[in-house]
C-alpha cells in the first residue's frame, strides 16, 4: 500500500509511505479506503499494481494499491514537470493521469480523439474543453460515435464548447469506426496499442523537459500501422503524445514526484 501524498492516513507501523494491510478475500479497494479512514472525496485517482484502478476493483493477495489526492497545490516541496505548472487543471491532470498505464479501451479511445483534436493547439486548450467533449460525444463511446452521420457532425460543429474543426470532427467519427474494427478483430484495442511497447511502459530517465523527444521509433511504427488501418490525425508526434498520456512511456523528469511513483 503506497500513500502517495496522503501520508496523514498512514498506519503507525508504516515504513516510509508504504504499509502492508490484511483484508478478507472479498475486499475491494473501497473497503481498504474505509479501513484507513480516508474520505472517498479525497481519492482523486488510484493505481492497482501500477495501473489505473477504481474504488470498485476487487483486491487479491499481494496487490499494491497507490492512493492519490486531488491537486495538491503549488507548495514548494512538490516538484512537477514544468508543463504542469501554469494552472490547477494542468497540475491535477499531471498528478493523476499523465503517464499512468491505461489499459481500458474506452479510455484509450478518448485520448486518441483528444490528441487528434490537439494537433496545432496547446494541450491546455484541449484539457479545458475535455468535459464538453465528453458531453457532446456520448462519453467517448466509440460505438455511438461510429454511427454519427453528416447531420450529427454539422450539429457538433455549432457547439461553441468544442474545437469546431471539420476535419478533426470527421476524424473522430472515422477513427471510431476504425477503432471498432481493431477491437473486433483483435479482441481489445488496448492489447493492440500496447504491443508497440511490448506490453509494458518504457521508462525514460530525462532530467529536463528539453530532453523529451517529439517522436520515437515506437511512435513511428504505431503511426504507420494506425494509418494503414484507416485512422486519421495519428502522425508520429501525436502518437508519442498518446503514449505519454496513457502511460505507455514514463516521461516524467526524474526530479518530478510522479516519476518514482510510476516505476
Q: Catalytic site residues?
A: 93, 115, 123
In the chain the first and final C-alpha atoms are separated, in Å, by: 14
Half-sphere exposure of 21 (CA within 13 A, CB side): 27
3-state secondary structure at position 250 = strand
- Looking at residue 232, the DSSP 8-state letter turns out to be S
User: Which of left, alpha, beta for 66 (phi over 0: left; psi -120 to 50: alpha)?
Assistant: beta
Contacts of residue 78, defined as CB under 8 A and 6 or more positions apart, other chains included, come to: 5, 72, 257
CA distance 252 to 256: 6
Strand pairing category for 51-52 and 65-68: unpaired
Amino acid at each position: 500500500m503506497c500513500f502517495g501524498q496522503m501520508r496523514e492516513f498512514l498506519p503507525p507501523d508504516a515504513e516510509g509511505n508504504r504499509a502492508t494491510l490484511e483484508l478478507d478475500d472479498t475486499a475491494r479497494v473501497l473497503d481498504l479506503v474505509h479501513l484507513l479512514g480516508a474520505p472517498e472525496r479525497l481519492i482523486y485517482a488510484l493505481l492497482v499494481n501500477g495501473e489505473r484502478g477504481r474504488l470498485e476493483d476487487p483486491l487479491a493477495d499481494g496487490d499494491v494499491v497507490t492512493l492519490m489526492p486531488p491537486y495538491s497545490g503549488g507548495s514548494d516541496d512538490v516538484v512537477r514537470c514544468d508543463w504542469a505548472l501554469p494552472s490547477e487543471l494542468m497540475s491535477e491532470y499531471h498528478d493523476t493521469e499523465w503517464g499512468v498505464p491505461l489499459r481500458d479501451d474506452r479510455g484509450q479511445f478518448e485520448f486518441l480523439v483528444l490528441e487528434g483534436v490537439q494537433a496545432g493547439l496547446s494541450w491546455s486548450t484541449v484539457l479545458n474543453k475535455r468535459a464538453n467533449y465528453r458531453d457532446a460525444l456520448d462519453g467517448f463511446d466509440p460505438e455511438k460515435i461510429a454511427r454519427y452521420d453528416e447531420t450529427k457532425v454539422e450539429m457538433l460543429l455549432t457547439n461553441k464548447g468544442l474545437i469546431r474543426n471539420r476535419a478533426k470532427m470527421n476524424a473522430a467519427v472515422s477513427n471510431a469506426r476504425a477503432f471498432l474494427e481493431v477491437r473486433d478483430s483483435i479482441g481489445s484495442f488496448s492489447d493492440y496499442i500496447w504491443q508497440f511497447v511490448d506490453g509494458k511502459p518504457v521508462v525514460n530517465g530525462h532530467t529536463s523537459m528539453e530532453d523529451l523527444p517529439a517522436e520515437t521509433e515506437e511512435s513511428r511504427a504505431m503511426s504507420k500501422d494506425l494509418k494503414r488501418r484507416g485512422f486519421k490525425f495519428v502522425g508520429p508526434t501525436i502518437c508519442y503524445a498518446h503514449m505519454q498520456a496513457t502511460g505507455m512511456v514514463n516521461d516524467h523528469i526524474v526530479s518530478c514526484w510522479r516519476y518514482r511513483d510510476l516505476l
